[in-house]
Amino acid sequence: MQSHAPIGVFDSGSGGLTVARQLHKILPGENILYVGDMKRMPYGPREPQEIIKFMGQFLNFFTTKKVKLAIFACNTMTSWGYEKAIGNTVYPLVPMSTAVAEAAALSPHKTIGVIATEATVKKRFHADMAAKIDKDIRIYAVACPQFVTLIESGHINDLVLEKAAAYYMQNFTGKNIESLILGCTHYPIIKDILSKHIEVGIKLIDPAVSTIEKAVSVMQKNNMLNPAKTGGRMEFFFSSEPDHAAHMVKIVMGIDNPFINNIDLERFN
Ligand code: DGL
């Protein structure tokens, strides 16, 4: 596998850009191929079979692009699809991290809040991991179905979003959570608003950090790290709304006027 080949990063929409941003921050010499399915997002309310089918299309596309590694930048696809995808690709896969271990290390009473999509909460993605790590960890997982649609329709810093944030965050009142896992890759985009609506002192955890740590160790093990220390190329593919996609790339990754390629994921069955 060529070390200069791109790393595939994928999500239902623009949320996974928060993971691509972390990858670029840690390994600025790596070439990144980002794919977002703006046309069919949100995935959170979808049935598992559909989520798994869509995941397969991203992975088939990456095969045609000869990626050296693919990173799930989506908790929803990780929780329902990752285990099913293992062994079915010629390149290694890195799932989205639950970040439960990180959160537990920062939570002396092991009381952790999670916000995520409906599908991720339904799969008990974080709760099952917590049970594996330490049965004393308490997880309070809250599904926030409005957030992704709001973010993808431009409500990232306004009263509409404030209202939704206040509504969802009140679920944690009296639960004494010590940390809050942002269990959907869209949520770091609205981190500032979220922190306004939770008690001071609760630590917000972005699982992109441990996801990219894992990606680095997989690449080291497979001897596929790009020796370049800077100048990684970024390519963006979205299934619709190129102007909105470009705007989100600018907001999340700070790239001016990015070129947005169109992709019809349905062709990659
Ligand atoms: N960003 C995705 C996640 O991390 C999913 C958002 C959605 O399409 O519902 O779960």
pLDDT tens per residue across span 11-32: 999 999 999 999 999 999 999 9
* DSSP state, residue 69: E
Q: Does pTM surpass 0.85?
A: yes
**DSSP letter string, 158-215:** SHHHHHHHHHHHGGGTTS--SEEEE-STTGGGGHHHHHHTS-TTPEEE-THHHHHHHH
Pocket test for ligand 1, best of 46, 185, 265 (most atoms within 8 A of CB): 185
Residue of the CA atom closest to atom 2 of ligand 1: 74
130 vs 139: CA distance, rounded Å: 7
Decide: 209 and 23 in contact? Cβ < 8 Å. no
- Looking at residue 269, its pLDDT comes to 92
Query: Which residue from 51, 76, 82, 248 has its CB within 8 A of the most atoms of ligand 1, so it is best to mutate?
Result: 76
Q: How many helices (H) and strands (E) does the chain have?
A: 11, 10
- Cα of 89 vs centre of ligand 1, distance in Å, is 22
**Any idea what DSSP says for residue 110?**
-
Q: Which residues are catalytic?
A: 74, 184
| DSSP one-letter string for 33-68 | EEEE-TTT---TTS-HHHHHHHHHHHHHHHHHTT-S
Whether 177 and 149 have beta carbons less than 8 Å apart is answered as no
Which of 26, 20, 202, 192 is CA-nearest to residue 111? 202
pLDDT of the residue at 1: 54
Q: Point out the ligand 1 atom lying closest to the alpha carbon of residue 76.
A: 10
Task: With CA atoms as reference, report the closest residue to 190 among 210, 170, 164.
Answer: 164
The C-alpha angle 96, 101, 106, rounded to 5 degrees, equals 120
Return the closest-CA partner of residue 202 out of 190, 191, 213, 189. Answer: 191
Contact partners, residue 212, CB within 8 Å, separation at least 6:
19, 22, 23, 26, 27, 71
pLDDT tens sequence across 76-125: 999 999 999 999 999 999 999 999 999 999 999 999 999 999 999 999 99
pLDDT tens-digit map of 205-226: 999 999 999 999 999 999 999 9
Mean predicted lDDT score pLDDT of the chain: 97
pLDDT at 2: 83
